[in-house]
Amino acid sequence: MLNNTPLSIAANALANSTIDAVRRSPSFHARAWHILDRWAFNSPKQLPKTEAEGEVILLERLLRQQEIEQQALTSFDGLAQRGHGLTEHEVLALHDISLAL
């Protein structure tokens, strides 16, 4: 059975303290949780390396990515594109937003 609880994938790649920091911080919301799980799934070796460079570095990068994706998805164009049936990934790709870590 697949566990689709937010941060369940990231929890397998990152320290508990990092996961707790993301959960507790009011700066991060569901978009950041989704991004972190995506990074853990797509880059299972790179994510812990980035965390090892410093938790603050990883969290700053996550915050920037959250802001970029949220802005694209909630912009007029992003909402119109979603209204025409495009997925979040497709909208982000049309805005040239990298999904990779």
Q: What would the pLDDT profile of 34-68 be if each residue is shown by its tens digit?
A: 999 999 999 999 999 999 999 999 999 999 999 99
The whole-number pLDDT of residue 6 equals 92
Alpha-carbon distance of 5 to 69, in angstroms, equals 21
Residue 95: pLDDT band (50, 70, 90) is very high
Check whether 83 has a pLDDT greater than 90. no
The whole-number pLDDT of residue 61 equals 97
CB contact set of 19 (below 8 Å; sequence gap of 6+): 7, 10, 11
Mean pLDDT of the chain: 93
